[in-house]
Amino acid sequence: MERSDPTIHIRLAEECDTTAIASVLYESFIEYQASYTPAAFTATTPTPAQIQKRLSEGSVWVAWHHDALVGTISAVEQGAGLYLRSMAVLPSARGDGVGRGLVEHVEQFAIAQGYHYLVLRTTPFLTHAIRLYEQVGFQRITAGPHDLYGTPLLTMLKPLVRTM
């Protein structure tokens, strides 16, 4: 289980963050590159220009730890839910609570905005990420798509509960 660190700060991404976000995504997934098809790896590691476009498609957050950008996550509206994509934490920051913090931050945002669920897609070989998602309440569902350019995908959903 990840431990929480009060020195982790999460904020909305800004235009000046796009290169650092692209770097975090690339560095976070490069160790898994052989498990992706070339097209799926390219889609998983967008360029700064593609990230710039995402800033207008939905919300993108960054996590800072010890004055360095170490994690990111983005979200796009999908009906009554919020679709999470491009979550990544640098290998050197894993286990510090960054991933959990990002997911919980987006969950609170989604509840405040009135969304009913969170949904995400991941690959079966990202077992540490899947374990985190399950720990915070996501469950695997049968909905597709079931692959990204030939790389297997699984979909996970978390219903959101509003507190009064």
Domains of the chain, start order: 8-159 (3.40.630.30)
- For residue 7, what pLDDT is reported? 81
User: Each residue of 35-62: pLDDT tens digit?
Assistant: 999 999 999 999 999 999 999 999 999 9
Helix (H, G, I), strand (E, B) or coil at 54: helix
163 pLDDT tier (thresholds 50, 70, 90): low
Radius of gyration of the chain (CA): 15
| Residue found under tokens 């052989």 | 34
Q: Which pair of structure tokens corresponds to residue 114?
A: 């009135």
pLDDT at residue 4, as a whole number: 52
Is residue 152 very low, low, confident or very high in pLDDT (cuts 50, 70, 90)?
Answer: very high
Query: Is the confidence at residue 2, as pLDDT, over 80?
Result: no
Q: For residue 3, name the pLDDT band (cuts at 50, 70, 90).
A: very low
Helix (H, G, I), strand (E, B) or coil at 120: strand
End-to-end CA distance of the chain: 29
Threshold 0.75, pTM exceeds: yes
**pLDDT tens figures, 81-132:** 999 999 999 999 998 899 999 999 999 999 999 999 999 999 999 999 999 9
Per-residue pLDDT at 1 exceeds 50: no
pLDDT, the chain, mean: 93
